[in-house]
């Protein structure tokens, strides 16, 4: 991950999500690096900012839970006990991605980059570099990029979460 990365979660993330906006709170607006959250931070963000960030975090947790439920009883438990916290291999970046084409190198596991929202992907100039699988999802295997709908219940429904999980698994197994 680039040193200029700004966001929440693990600096050594293998699953990197990019979002166009930040929680509208001073601590996150002024963030200049990648920081992990502590237990209770997500609840505090949701209480202070309202429904939008609650939806983002809930969809994010549902996705990670379906991808690998591990020791969590539910996606809610994963959200409250692990999402963007220390010791996990995912992050949510507010900074633009710095992508490089991947060589076939089995010794260094590559990170997978997921752009949240078709509009954001277009703004970043990534849309035209990806193969659109349908109106919701696009991939670029060489860049290890997936473009998906925004993390909102209406845009990324449970069915589309399952489709995204399948794409993540597909790209994660490619050298």
- 8 A C-beta contact, residue 149 and residue 63: no
Closest CA to 60 of 159, 162, 169, 161: 161
Would you say residue 2 lies in a domain? no
Would you say residue 1 lies in a domain? no
Mean pLDDT of the chain: 91
Would you say residue 67 lies in a domain? yes
Helices (H) and strands (E) in the chain, counts: 6, 8
Would you say residue 21 lies in a domain? yes
118-141 average pLDDT score? 96
Global pTM value: 0.92
Q: Is the pLDDT of residue 37 over 80?
A: yes
Least confident range from 37-41, 105-109, 116-120: namely 105-109
pLDDT in tens, 74-106: 999 999 999 999 999 999 999 999 887 655 444
Q: How far apart are CA 78 and CA 62, in angstroms?
A: 8
Domain of residue 78: give its range: 7-173
Q: Is the pLDDT of residue 108 over 70?
A: no
What pLDDT, on a 0 to 100 scale, did the predictor assign at position 71? 85
What pLDDT, on a 0 to 100 scale, did the predictor assign at position 107? 38
Task: Name which residue leads in pLDDT, 100 or 112.
Answer: 112
What pLDDT, on a 0 to 100 scale, did the predictor assign at position 134? 96
Percent of all residues in the chain with a pLDDT value above 90, rounded to a whole number: 82
Q: How far apart are CA 32 and CA 23, in angstroms?
A: 14
Beta strands 145-148 and 112-116, pairing class: parallel
Output the CA–CA distances (angstroms, integers) from residue 81 to 7, 68, 90, 104, in the order listed. Answer: 18, 14, 14, 35
The CATH number assigned to the domain holding 159 equals 3.40.470
Residue 39 tokens, joined: 């237990």
How many domains is the chain partitioned into structurally? 1
What pLDDT, on a 0 to 100 scale, did the predictor assign at position 16? 96
Would you say residue 30 lies in a domain? yes
Backbone angles phi, psi at 14, to 5 degrees: -100, -15
What pLDDT, on a 0 to 100 scale, did the predictor assign at position 174? 55
Output the CA–CA distances (angstroms, integers) from residue 62 to 28, 58, 69, 105, 124, in the order listed. Answer: 23, 6, 9, 31, 26
């Amino acid at each position: 991950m680039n040193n200029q990365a700004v966001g929440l979660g693990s600096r050594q993330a293998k699953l990197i999500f990019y979002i166009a906006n930040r929680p509208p709170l001073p601590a996150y607006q002024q963030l200049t690096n990648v920081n992990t959250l502590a237990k209770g931070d997500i609840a505090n963000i949701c209480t202070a900012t309202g429904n939008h960030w609650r939806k983002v975090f809930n969809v994010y947790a549902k996705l990670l839970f379906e991808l690998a439920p591990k020791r969590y009883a539910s996606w809610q438990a994963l959200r409250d006990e692990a999402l963007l916290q220390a010791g996990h291999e995912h992050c949510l970046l507010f900074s633009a991605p710095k992508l490089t084409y991947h060589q076939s190198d089995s010794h260094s596991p590559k990170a997978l980059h997921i752009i949240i929202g078709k509009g954001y992907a277009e703004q970043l100039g990534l849309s035209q570099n990806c193969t659109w699988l349908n109106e919701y999802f696009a991939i670029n295997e060489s860049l290890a990029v997936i473009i998906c709908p925004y993390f909102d219940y209406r845009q990324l429904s449970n069915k589309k979460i399952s489709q995204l999980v399948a794409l993540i698994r597909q790209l994660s197994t490619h050298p």
